[in-house]
C-alpha cells in the first residue's frame, strides 16, 4: 500500500509540473486572434518552439509511458521507450536552439585594416 501511495504522489507531482509548464507556454504564445489557416499555423509554430510547452509535453509523455508500464502492466516495448526518449530529446533540442537564437550576436569585427606599428 505504501508503494502505491508513493507512486501516486510522484505521478501527481510529475503531472502537475507538466501541466504548469504547458499552461505557462500557452500563456506565452497568446490567444488565437482570428480563425484562419495563417493564424493557426502561427500558433502551431510558436507552440512547437516554445520551451515551456515542449518541456510540459515531454513530462506528460514520460509520465504516461511509465504509467502504462507500472499501473496498467502494459508491455512497453523498446520502440516505445525510444519514442519517449526521442520526444524528450527533441524538446530539449528545440528549446536549446531557441535559447541560442535569442542570445544577442557578438560584436563582429570591422572591415578596417589592422594598424601596423612603424619601425623606428
- Give the up-direction half-sphere exposure of residue 99: CA atoms within 13 A in the CB hemisphere: 8
**Which cell goes with 69?**
508500464
Cα–Cα distance for residue pair 90/59, rounded to 1 Å: 13
- Give the up-direction half-sphere exposure of residue 114: CA atoms within 13 A in the CB hemisphere: 3
Domain boundaries in the chain?
A: 2-101
Burial group, residue 46, by CB count within 10 angstroms (0-12, 13-18, 19+): middle
Q: What is the pLDDT of residues 71-95, one digit of tens each?
A: 778 887 888 878 877 877 777 676 6
Please measure the distance between the N-terminal and C-terminal CA atoms of the chain and give it in whole angstroms.
Answer: 89
> The pTM is what?
0.53
Q: What is the pLDDT of residues 24-39, one digit of tens each?
A: 888 888 777 778 888 8
Q: Residue 41's pLDDT band (boundaries 50, 70, 90)? A: confident
Amino acid at each position: 500500500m505504501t508503494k502505491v501511495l508513493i507512486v501516486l504522489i510522484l505521478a501527481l507531482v510529475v503531472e502537475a509540473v507538466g501541466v504548469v509548464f504547458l499552461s505557462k507556454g500557452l500563456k506565452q504564445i497568446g490567444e488565437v486572434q482570428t480563425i484562419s489557416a495563417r493564424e493557426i499555423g502561427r500558433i502551431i509554430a510558436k507552440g512547437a518552439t516554445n520551451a515551456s510547452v515542449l518541456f510540459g509535453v515531454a513530462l506528460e509523455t514520460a509520465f504516461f509511458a511509465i504509467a502504462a508500464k507500472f499501473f496498467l502492466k502494459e508491455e512497453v516495448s523498446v520502440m516505445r521507450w525510444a519514442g519517449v526518449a526521442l520526444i524528450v530529446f527533441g524538446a530539449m533540442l528545440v528549446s536549446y536552439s531557441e535559447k541560442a537564437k535569442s542570445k544577442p550576436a557578438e560584436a563582429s569585427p570591422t572591415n578596417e585594416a589592422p594598424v601596423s606599428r612603424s619601425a623606428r
